[in-house]
Amino acid sequence: MVVGPVLGQGFGINRPYLTAWHMFRTWGTGTMEVQFYQRTPNGDVPLNRLQLLGHTHWRTSGVDRIVVKRSKVRKQAQRICDVLGTPADVRADVISGTVQGWKKVMSREKNLCR
Amino acid sequence: MPIAQWLREHVFLFEGSTRSVALLRVLAVCVAWSRLGATLVPDGEMGAMAWATSMVFWASTSLMFVGLFSQPASLAVGLTTWVVYANHGDFGTADLHAHHVLAQALLCCLLSLTPCGRSFSVDRWLQGSRALPERGELWGLRLLQMQLVVLYAGAVWEKSYAGWLSGDRMLQVLMNIYLGSDPTGWLTQVVAVSIAWGTVFAEGGLALAVLFAPSFRSRLGAYLFGCTFHGLVYFLTPVSTFTATMAVWLLVLLPTDDVHRITERLLRPTKGQAPSTKSRQLPFLLGAAVLLLLPIYGRLVPTVPDGSGFMTLGEDVCEVRWPDGPAVAGTRRDVHKKVCGRPDLPSNPAIRCVVEGSWTDTKLTKLCRRLPKTAKRRESAR
Amino acid sequence: MRPWETIGSTRSLGLARIFLGLLTYAEVLAMLRPAHHLQHLDIMALSGIPWLSVPALIVGWHARSAAAVTGITLLALHTWGGMQGLTGAGLPWASVTIWELAITLCVLALTPCGRSFSVDRWLAPEAERAPLWGHALIRVHTSVIFGALAVSHLTPLWWSGERLARMGMARHGVPIEAGPLMSTMAVIWVALELLCCAAPWVARQRLVPIGLGFVLLQYPMLYTGTWSLHAAVLLLLCLDPDSVDRTIQDLSPQR
């Protein structure tokens, strides 16, 4: 009863017959926080991601609401670029959820419209 | 008081009413059926071990529910649940290797160490006038309480790291389930931190309540708080049966003699006014007319069921036969898995599928077309 | 005695109330989470109601109101959601299981289901005998369910055993021919459904156990979800309430 959690949660030794009580350990990790910007001569202007993707409210934005992959960031960026028209310079600040907190994924390094 | 003496009095020789463990016994089976019933329905895909586990599960849960050979039945339920947890691959779904299944197994195994068949059971009924009084040694109940303390203490330990206590992990959960990937404001972050710390305090409080709550009122309050806490988690997040398991398990908070007193009061006959003999003919006939007309109404209105049953199960089956080999049959999805992308199988099988109610000859290329995603939960036949 | 004149024990109704509440929890609550209905605020608002009424139903606090509120809300969700073609947690709203459960709860609200094994009893104990015209309606409801099922099986596809063969293939993954065996099973199946239709009214003590075995066997044969248990509770509820009360007295501990 006691050995399981002490070994599992204290020392990271996990066996099927010794129980550790991991709950909500990794759920939600990988969720990304995404902020798109349009780079202009006057600086970076924050963009309303869901509005530019064609949604009126976050509740009704369906699958566009959550981003968990870099590829989806690029796909959404491309759709935003199409809305803004060429020559658009769209960049993104993206952080990804981890067990320890947040990890930087993108920091507006590249123009995602190319 | 020396520790050894305290342990003797309050743990090893602790006695009390057996009604609370009997209630745990009945309710634990309900949770087991709810979680594992669909998984352990025998079907053609199961191997021998899975079949055996399924048979033992159904027999032992039935016995445990009615209270026949209660303690061995509880142990059998606990062990079969643990087998499902440890060998989840044989039962098809990885989400069976989860803490809520393990908790269910532990609950039933520990219940087998209590006299859970001494109340509200067929065991008791069969003993008739020879039945033992509803008091017994409840050191098994102490183990249940101790496991509960370890469970909540483990959960508090698990959450005592910067990622959780800063609110970041809870924010990730909220974003994943509700808010989406847009940056959140300060209010959302405050809410996330509050929930994160709130769960730590709630779980720690429940562990302490099991150990130290002094009175029936405080323990009842802790029980209601625990059910509300787990209920909120169930409401807000897509969790499985852990809420129900905890609502049952937390009953160990309540002093056994108080549970006895409450059930005694509920069972005691009460004298009262003689029931009214006023005729209820009109409401009965109206109600009966509505009930009789509903299925007929259902035949006329598409969104209202017409009471028919078992009309769709099997309307997507396929059958594949080879001249010299065994036949394969099942739902289209199952046959797809067994037959498509298998170069080892002989070519040119005879395939037929039910399409719009009738058997239709089908080609392999059509059978092996990509299928749409389906719901994870097995669909009921009705 | 005419069905609307019967007076009897309320204990079987109390136990049925608890189990129907637990069935509703198991079948329905998960799909009513707000996370599944973010796009439809009206559905989300309606979906919040059973989260309060179902626990009240299980513990028996304002039991009749809780049953009525739960039943009516589920009917409203079924109708409204079905009209919009909505799905909840991957399951369609147009589920006959949930529909029948909702009707059962509405009829349960017409019975004194809170008079036994309930918080209502703890707070204000009353005699556990009351007029049972609502209980008689539950018997009508049970007969209608099984009668409608039997009627829907009066088709050549069923009588030939073809439907049973297909159902067996779907669930058990083995080829099954629709021959004389399946045809005989199909006839027996309809006969058992008609038996369950009659069981609430005729020779209850003998027919209800047979019907019970039939509906419970359907669960491992076909996987019927909570429907089998719902039907089992309804059949048990159709037993004479005073006989059930005597059985509970016999099972109750000696003082």
pLDDT digits (tens, 9 = 90+) for B163-194: 999 999 999 999 999 999 999 999 999 999 99
Strands (E), chain C: 7-9, 87-88, 91-92, 129-131
C87/C90: higher pLDDT? C87
Residue type at A71 in one-letter notation: S
pLDDT for C133-151, tens place per residue?
999 999 999 999 999 999 9
Closest CB to B176 among A9, A49, A66 = A66
**Which residues in chain C are contacts of A60 at CB distance < 8 A?**
38-39
Q: What percent of chain C has pLDDT over 70?
A: 95
Give the contacts of C78 (CB within 8 A, at least 6 positions apart): B303, C93, C94, C95, C98, C99, C102
Which positions in chain C touch A59 (Cβ < 8 Å)? 38-39, 41
Q: Do A28 and B86 touch (CB under 8 A)?
A: no
Element spanning A23, H or E: none
pLDDT-based confidence at B158, cuts 50/70/90? confident
Q: Choose the mutation target among C47, C123, C133, C151 for the interface with B, i.e. most B CBs under 10 Å.
A: C133
d(CA B302, CA C251) in angstroms, rounded, equals 47
Phi, psi of C150 (to 5 degrees): -60, -40
> Which residues from chain B sit within 8 angstroms of residue A15, using beta carbons?
none
Residues forming beta bridges with residue A34, ordered by sequence position: A94
Return the pLDDT at A11.
66
What DSSP letter does each residue of C135-195 carry, written as one string?
Answer: HHHHHHHHHHHHHHHHHHT-SHHHHTTHHHHHHHHHHH-S----SHHHHHHHHHHHHHHHH
Under the banding of pLDDT at 50, 70 and 90, the label for residue B64 is very high
Check CB contact of C38 with chain A, cutoff 8 Å.
yes
3-class SS at A106?
Answer: strand
The answer to whether residue C237 scores a pLDDT higher than 50 is yes
User: What are the Cα distances from residue B66, in Å, to B26, B123, B244, B316, C236?
Assistant: 8, 9, 20, 38, 15
Q: Which residues in chain A touch residue B96, judged by CB atoms under 8 angstroms apart? A: none
What per-residue confidence (pLDDT) applies to A22?
A: 63
The arithmetic mean of pLDDT across residues A44-71, rounded, is: 93
Residue B184 with chain A: CB contacts under 8 Å: 33
Residue C255 has pLDDT above 50, yes or no: no
pLDDT tens readout for residues B7-57: 777 877 788 999 999 999 999 999 999 989 888 888 777 788 888 999 999
| Contacting residues for C107 by C-beta, under 8 A, at least 6 apart | B287, B291, C71, C134, C137, C138, C141
> Do the Cβ atoms of A28 and B169 come within 8 Å?
yes
Q: How confident is the model at residue C51 (pLDDT cuts 50, 70, 90)?
A: very high
* Burial zone of C178 (CB within 10 Å; 0-12 exposed, 13-18 middle, 19+ buried): middle
Give the residue on B whose Cα is nearest the Cα of C117.
B266
- The vertex-C150 CA angle with C144 and C152, nearest 5°, equals 100
Q: Tell me how far apart the alpha carbons of residues C127 and C129 are, in angstroms, rounded to a whole number.
A: 6
Q: According to the model, what pLDDT value does residue B267 have?
A: 87
Residues of chain C with Cβ-Cβ distance to A50 below 8 Å are: none
Q: Tokens representing B30?
A: 């309900």
Q: Do B379 and C91 make contact, defined as CB atoms within 8 angstroms?
A: yes
Q: Is the peptide bond before A87 cis (omega within 30 degrees of 0)?
A: yes
Residue with tokens 């300060």: B186
Residues B132/B18, Cβ–Cβ less than 8 Å: no
More confident residue, A35 or B310: A35
Tens of pLDDT, residues C152-194 = 999 999 999 999 999 999 888 888 989 999 999 999 999 999 9
Q: What does pLDDT average to over chain B?
A: 89
Q: Hey, of B53, B55, B280, B321, which one would you mutate to test binding to chain C, going by the most C CBs within 10 A of its CB?
A: B280
Q: Give the pLDDT of residue C90.
A: 43
User: Per-residue confidence at B238, pLDDT binned at 50, 70, 90?
Assistant: confident
Q: Indicate if the pLDDT at residue A3 is higher than 70.
A: no
Average pLDDT over residues A62-68: 93
Lookup: tokens for C81:
């959601």
A60 interfaces chain C, CB cutoff of 8 Å: yes
The per-residue pLDDT for A10 is 63
Distance from CA of B263 to the nearest CA of C (A): 8
Q: How does pLDDT run across B255-301, given as a tens digit for each residue?
A: 999 999 999 999 888 877 777 777 789 999 999 999 999 888 888 87
What ipTM was estimated for this complex? 0.90
Nearest residue in chain C measured CA to CA from B121 = C251
- In chain A, the residue whose alpha carbon lies closest to the alpha carbon of C39 is A60
Asked if A15 is an interface residue toward chain B (Cβ–Cβ < 8 A), one would say: no
